Structure 1
Amino acid sequence: MPIPTFDPFHAPGGALKRLPLLKAAVAFIAAVCLCLCGLLYLQLEQSRRYDLASARVASANLTRAMAQQAQDTFQQTDLVLASLADWMQIDGFGHALQPRLQQTFARRVQSLEQLHGLFLFDKDGHWVITSFANLHRGAGVADREYFAFHQQNASLLAHIGPAIRSRQNGEWIIPVSRRLNDSDGNFQGVLMAGVKMAYFDQFFKSFSLDDEGEMVLALADGTLLARRPFDETKIGRSLAQDAIFQHETQGTVIGNAVIRSAADGVIRLYDHQHLRAYPLVVTAAMSEEAILAGWYDRAFQSSLIVGLVVLGICLFGWVFVRQVRNSERIEADLRRAQEALELIATHDSLTGLANRRLFERALDIEFGRGARQRSPLSLIMLDIDFFKRYNDTYGHVAGDHCLAEVATVLRNCCHRKADLAVRYGGEEFAVLLPDTNLQGAMALAEQIRRSVIDKHITHSASPSGYLTVSLGCYAFVPSSLDSTEAFIQRADAALYQAKHSGRNCVEALSREGVLDALERSDR
């Protein structure tokens, strides 16, 4: 029968669900670590995007500066060619005018830093006038791209051709040329200005650029004119298949993209811009590694700090979890100790049945419940017949074994959870039966008596030769006028009546027995 006891780990009003502290602690520590890592990721990603955005702005500014410089360079050169072409279109370039034209060519070259020289060729590609004092006499320039272009095209606009080596002194130049016609519009010759490639190389070097970066000046069709770092083997190569030229859409004047180079596998931020007045494009590329160099340092430092914090939290969590586990283990040990103490305090150590302390507590509870619900309460008192003779004959060890056997019978016969079997004292036992009338108590008592006989425990000092028991039963509906002491006395009187009836029997308390019990209680 369950009897309520005090439990310091639960509230008196009922069992409370315990907080899963260990799981909550692990979840909290994991959540904090994940939040820290998430915040670190967001901060680093935001910083990375900011650095890339700043690099895009810097790259755009760089390409604008390159485009403006190239625009100014070729525009100045074109103006010189235009003025000279207009003059020669009117006055021609006969032998009488050639000394004066040579001096003019020389002065114009001296006035523009980017010019390598000015050259005039006749309709057959032969040298006519140059800005150099000594006129180069060679095979001519009929094989040059710019000369063939003007021969085949009637346009008088300036033409910028692929970079070539000057036949004057072998220097790399970018030819800017114009067609000259006679008064009838027939092809008369070509006026060409050579722009120094070294001029652009010097200009490119004025910018701070990482070792993996590059700066390019090219024709609109991708033909390379000038490049930093300078590589003579790449001059004149077509860049049409390179990443940036493949990326740009038709008609795009300016744009940028992060692309992995097919040549060396380096990821770069490319930015390109087309010149407005000339079929030229400038490109600047900065390696992503150089762009994010500062970000990598910050990322390492931030990750190290967050990693140390997470490690500290994990160590603290490990210690805390160990403490929680130790507390839970100690709590479980205390609970088991409490249960063991409760069992010792409320049960008989020999038989394992409830003792008188638990019996009295249960009797008070069932007495009050029976009075409230008007339900019957029964009590069986049981005594082993001639137990003193059994001890004297077989010894106290056998007597203890005999008591344990009788206790086993009681436990086996009490099938309901509410029934309470008790070792009342010595060889005397009791069975408390809530919600049981006298007929039910008599039936259970008879079952107990027969079960003890069926054990066939030898008792030579007993008339029957075997161990037997005598049982007394009493049942009533408790009221506020009744007492537990009277209830026990009446059941005990029934047992007394069974012993006087010859033992090894079950008796219920008669009317006379009740009066005798009352008289004994009054005394």
Structure 2
Amino acid sequence: MEKLVHVKNTFYTTTITVIIVSLIVSLSLAVQIATSRQQSIQQINTSVANLSHTLNVYTEGIIRQSEMLITTVSDTIEIYGMTPQQAINIQLMISNQDNLLTQINNVVVYDAHGDIFTALHKNFAGPHKGADRAFFVYHKENKSQQIYIGEPVISRTNGKWVITLSRRLETHTGAFNGVVVVTLGIENFLALYGQINIGHAGVIGLTTQAGVLLIRYPFKNNYIGTIFSDSPLFRKYLKVQNTGIASSVSRFDKIERIYAYEKNRRYGLVTTVAVSIDEALSPWRKQAIQLAALILVFTATLIVASCFLYSDLSRKARDNKALKIIASEDALTGLYNRRIFDEKILSEIAACAEKDAPVSLLLVDVDYFKKYNDNYGHPEGDRCLALLGNCLRESLTRDNQVVARYGGEEFALILPETDIQEALLLAQAIIRNVFSQQIEHAFSPFGRVTVSVGVSSARAVNIAGSQQNIVNAADQALYQAKRGGRNRHAFVGA
């Protein structure tokens, strides 16, 4: 009996000892793996930060030279005017600069009517007038003579993608007299980017300070002009500092990357250099696999048990999260759906009633949307709704405000603790913001996509338990806005 007890005790002691030794060895190896990974990431961070800084300096140099050329041409014109002889002189001057700045695609001087006064390359593949170009419209409407970096466009010289740098010309009296524009070939930037070793899944980008993508390597046409103002880089990181390191999953190819960013202090352009985390950590991963094999030898039983438990809990968590998202989110716009709206309006009215505070509701409807769908197609209609959903989300002024897709092309905004004056101001802002999106709608009398807004407001205590009153009132207001000509708002009290 005593021998049996001794054997059991020895077994228990040995088992405990083995477990403790296994845990110590596993912990030591795990610390080594973690330390090695951190060192690898630090090296990656340093490398991409150096590259982003170098490319930022390179880009600033090109733009600064272009700015100097633009300034020289502008000053010459403003001193000597637009005479035939000056057209010849300027053309000769910019021809000499063409050899110094190889990135130049063309240099064009437009007069106040958008006609070409002179140009480096005069053989145009497209229209000869520039009055329809965004940079021309910008300078015509803005008196600033600062350099303007426009969105990427297709060159009318050779049909290639270019970046536009331009400046307003003025007469001696300060009147608009035309535009000087330098176009830089995007393919020249791509040629340089292609020489940098950032791995097979690496990305280099150049965006404006407003978040418009100018250049992305590897290049694809549909990437150009994409707006990133809603990305964490612009919403979060750049608001804190002009340079830094971050990580995110690309919206284009869903690859997770570490990226360094640097905002140019002179021109506001943001240079980013990103490398795939998976690809960059490949050498570390090989070493980690070897160490992990040792851990598996010592702690196989514990790992298997933990994996089963973790896998089960993770699966349940993922399923619950997925179900929750599906149940609450509109798949097209990412906004709350109608079911969540019905829940939110009840809870927000109740909360405002407790504080004896007002509550307001906006119903937003897209004008002439059936014509948009019928003529542009349902995929474009869906894209339009997604853009408008994002526009409404960005128009919110408080964290407690709620925006939901109410149904079809109609959206609803719940505004807790908001009186009628503030609600009307937000309605006006939404109408302006949607109009400024400049979504083409040739089948609307406004020429672009617009919205009508119905506004209603009430003391929450007066409508507690009868929230349909404020919904009906906002719906009546929306009807009045539609009947009044659309692209406007109307108010009906609840």
TM-score (norm. length: structure 1)? 0.54
Who is 1:210 aligned against?
199
* In 2, Cα distance between equivalents of 1:262 and 1:104: 44
Amino acid of the structure 1 residue aligned with 2:20: A
What does residue range 106-505 of structure 1 map to in structure 2 within 5 Å?
106-132=95-121, 134=123, 138-308=127-297
What RMSD over aligned residues (CA atoms) do the two structures have, in Å? 2.5
Q: Which of the residues 56, 62, 75 maps onto 2:64?
A: 75
- Contact kept, 8 Å, 2:123 with 2:157, in 1: the verdict is no
**3-state SS in 1 of match to 2:197:** coil
Who is 2:34 aligned against?
45
Q: Deviations over 1:302-333 (max 9, x none)?
A: 2234545779xxxxxxxxxxxxxxxxxxxxxx
Residue 114 and residue 263 in structure 1: after superposition, are their counterparts in 2 closer, same or farther (change >3 A)? closer
1:138 deviates by 3.7
Residue 133 and residue 168 in structure 1: after superposition, are their counterparts in 2 closer, same or farther (change >3 A)? closer
Q: Which of the residues 10, 27, 32 maps onto 2:16?
A: 27
* In 2, Cα distance between equivalents of 1:67 and 1:51: 24
Residue 256 and residue 241 in structure 1: after superposition, are their counterparts in 2 closer, same or farther (change >3 A)? same
Who is 1:98 aligned against?
87
- Contact kept, 8 Å, 2:126 with 2:156, in 1: the verdict is no
1:247 deviates by 3.7
Bigger mean CA offset, 19-28 vs 198-207:
19-28
- Contact kept, 8 Å, 2:77 with 2:86, in 1: the verdict is no
- Contact kept, 8 Å, 2:264 with 2:270, in 1: the verdict is yes
Q: Deviations over 1:71-109 (max 9, x none)?
A: 111011111111221122211230122222211121112
1:285 deviates by 1.5
Who is 1:88 aligned against?
77
* In 1, Cα distance between equivalents of 2:232 and 2:220: 19
Residue 136 and residue 90 in structure 1: after superposition, are their counterparts in 2 closer, same or farther (change >3 A)? farther
* In 1, Cα distance between equivalents of 2:244 and 2:144: 31
- Contact kept, 8 Å, 1:273 with 1:281, in 2: the verdict is yes
Residue 77 and residue 157 in structure 1: after superposition, are their counterparts in 2 closer, same or farther (change >3 A)? same
**3-state SS in 2 of match to 1:48:** helix
* In 2, Cα distance between equivalents of 1:251 and 1:150: 31
**3-state SS in 1 of match to 2:95:** helix
- Contact kept, 8 Å, 2:228 with 2:234, in 1: the verdict is yes
- Contact kept, 8 Å, 1:127 with 1:137, in 2: the verdict is no
Unmatched 5+ residue regions in structure 1?
Answer: 1-8, 11-16, 312-523
1:180 deviates by 1.1
Paired residue total: 298
* In 2, Cα distance between equivalents of 1:265 and 1:172: 25
User: Does the alignment pair 1:62 with 2:51?
Assistant: yes
- Contact kept, 8 Å, 2:105 with 2:162, in 1: the verdict is yes
Residue 97 and residue 261 in structure 1: after superposition, are their counterparts in 2 closer, same or farther (change >3 A)? closer
Who is 2:415 aligned against?
none
Q: Deviations over 1:110-134 (max 9, x none)?
A: 2211111110000011111011255
Amino acid of the structure 2 residue aligned with 1:71: E
* In 2, Cα distance between equivalents of 1:241 and 1:170: 30
- Contact kept, 8 Å, 2:261 with 2:272, in 1: the verdict is yes
* In 2, Cα distance between equivalents of 1:251 and 1:142: 38
* In 2, Cα distance between equivalents of 1:291 and 1:32: 33
1:24 deviates by 2.3
1:277 deviates by 0.5
- Contact kept, 8 Å, 2:207 with 2:213, in 1: the verdict is yes
1:298 deviates by 0.4
1:243 deviates by 4.2
- Contact kept, 8 Å, 2:109 with 2:119, in 1: the verdict is yes
- Contact kept, 8 Å, 2:106 with 2:157, in 1: the verdict is no
Amino acid of the structure 2 residue aligned with 1:283: T
Q: Deviations over 1:417-471 (max 9, x none)?
A: xxxxxxxxxxxxxxxxxxxxxxxxxxxxxxxxxxxxxxxxxxxxxxxxxxxxxxx
**3-state SS in 2 of match to 1:176:** strand
* In 1, Cα distance between equivalents of 2:121 and 2:277: 46
- Contact kept, 8 Å, 1:271 with 1:285, in 2: the verdict is yes
- Contact kept, 8 Å, 1:126 with 1:141, in 2: the verdict is yes
- Contact kept, 8 Å, 1:258 with 1:267, in 2: the verdict is yes
**3-state SS in 2 of match to 1:97:** helix
* In 1, Cα distance between equivalents of 2:216 and 2:118: 31
- Contact kept, 8 Å, 1:269 with 1:285, in 2: the verdict is yes
Over alpha carbons, which structure has the higher Rg? 1
Residue 137 and residue 19 in structure 1: after superposition, are their counterparts in 2 closer, same or farther (change >3 A)? closer
* In 2, Cα distance between equivalents of 1:204 and 1:136: 28
Amino acid of the structure 2 residue aligned with 1:193: V
* In 1, Cα distance between equivalents of 2:125 and 2:92: 16
- Contact kept, 8 Å, 1:243 with 1:262, in 2: the verdict is no
Residue 136 and residue 231 in structure 1: after superposition, are their counterparts in 2 closer, same or farther (change >3 A)? closer
Unmatched 5+ residue regions in structure 2?
Answer: 301-494
Amino acid of the structure 2 residue aligned with 1:41: A
**3-state SS in 2 of match to 1:192:** strand
TM-score (norm. length: structure 2)? 0.57
* In 2, Cα distance between equivalents of 1:266 and 1:120: 43
